[in-house]
Structure 1
Amino acid sequence: MNKSLLLKQILAALEAIHQGAVDAAMRAYNTATDDENVAENKYDTLALEAAYLAQGQAQRVAECEADLAAFEKLELANYSDQEAVGLGSLVYLIDEAGAEKYLFLGPAAGGLKLTFFDKQIIIITPSAPLGQILLGRFVDEEIEINIGGQIKSYEIAAIY
């Protein structure tokens, strides 16, 4: 599994998300500062609401920039069967029903899903419950996690 190509794809996805956030922030700013939206009375709050939205969108842009910076600094290592899961690991899990799951332990952007060579990859972070469980684990170990009140068991089939 070529993790450097995966990292490039993650960066491309994060850049697209960042651009969407920038565009949304600009639309909110333009709405907030448009002369057409000047309050006509004390109950007319469109400009005020748009200003709050613009502030929130600007914060989202900053979060996207932080995610991008964290992944740009990420150094990838090739793992062997004797090494434990760590930051930058791509973990291949199989549950008790034989369903496969690929998780990339990244520094940020937890929950981002992407398709890489016909496999769905989900980014998790070390602070996520599953990320905490996986850190320091090895190939062939079994893990359990409570998901929605149900205990799910997985075997770590490979670490890349």
Structure 2
Amino acid sequence: MDKLLLQQQVLERLADDLLQVEQAARTAHETATHEENIAENKYDTLGLEAAYLATGQARRAEAIRQAIAHWRQFRPRPYDASQGIQLGALVCLVDADDKQQHLFLGPDGGSMQLVSGAQLVQVISGASPLGSAMLGKCEGDEVSLEVAQIRQQFEVLRVD
């Protein structure tokens, strides 16, 4: 799998997300400031609700802009077994049921699935519970984390 190609896919997806969020923020702002949505009484809150939505969308847009900046500056390096898994690693984990999952450990804006060839690759950040549990691990190591009081265990099958 080509890490630079995956990085480009992440940037394209984030750019698409940013366009959608900016459009939603504009729409919410227009709704909030439209003359027909001026409150006529204390129960008429459409304009106020739209203003809250516009503020939330603007914050989300800023978070996406920051993620784009982090991904643009990011330079994935080849895997170095002496350091173990670091940001930029492509990791194949296997669980107790022999189910494999392919992960690309990135700087920010994770939780998206990409396709590389015929392979699904989940992008996660180093700050995520699984991402932080993998940092420093090597091929053959066990990764363990607890989610909702359920312990999950994986073996690091491959790292690129």
Calculate the TM-score normalised by the size of structure 2.
0.92
Percent of residue pairs identical:
36
1:57 counterpart residue number: 57
2:30 counterpart residue number: 30
The answer on whether the counterparts of 1:80 and 1:159 sit within 8 Å (CA) in structure 2 is no
Distance apart, 1:68 and its partner CA:
0.7
Tell me the distance in 1 between the aligned counterparts of 2:120 and 2:148.
Answer: 21
Distance apart, 1:39 and its partner CA:
1.4
Q: Which region of structure 1 is more displaced relative to structure 2, 82-91 or 58-67?
A: 82-91
Distance apart, 1:159 and its partner CA:
1.1
1:87 counterpart residue number: 87
Equivalent positions of 1:40-55 (< 5 A) are 40-55=40-55
1:135 counterpart residue number: 135
Equivalent positions of 1:81-160 (< 5 A) are 81=81, 83-160=83-160
Tell me the distance in 2 between the aligned counterparts of 1:6 and 1:135.
Answer: 20
Distance apart, 1:105 and its partner CA:
1.1
1:69 counterpart residue number: 69
Q: Secondary structure of 1:62's match?
A: helix
Distance apart, 1:147 and its partner CA:
3.0
Q: Secondary structure of 2:114's match?
A: strand
Tell me the distance in 2 between the aligned counterparts of 1:118 and 1:20.
Answer: 28
The answer on whether the counterparts of 1:94 and 1:101 sit within 8 Å (CA) in structure 2 is yes
The answer on whether the counterparts of 2:6 and 2:114 sit within 8 Å (CA) in structure 1 is no
Uncovered stretches (5+) of structure 2, i.e. residues with no partner:
none
Once the two structures are superposed, residues 134-157 of structure 1 have per-residue CA deviations (whole angstroms, 9 ceiling, x without a partner) of 101111112222233332221111
Q: Flag the 1:19–1:129 CA change in 2: closer, same or farther, 3 A.
A: same
Distance apart, 1:64 and its partner CA:
0.7
Once superposed, which parts of structure 1, at least 4 consecutive aligned residues long, lie more than 6 Å away? none
Distance apart, 1:22 and its partner CA:
0.7
Q: Which region of structure 1 is more displaced relative to structure 2, 129-138 or 119-128?
A: 119-128
The answer on whether the counterparts of 1:70 and 1:107 sit within 8 Å (CA) in structure 2 is yes
Uncovered stretches (5+) of structure 1, i.e. residues with no partner:
none
Tell me the distance in 1 between the aligned counterparts of 2:105 and 2:149.
Answer: 24
How much is the aligned-residue C-alpha RMSD, in angstroms? 1.5
Q: Which region of structure 1 is more displaced relative to structure 2, 143-152 or 1-10?
A: 143-152
Number of paired residues?
160
Distance apart, 1:106 and its partner CA:
1.0
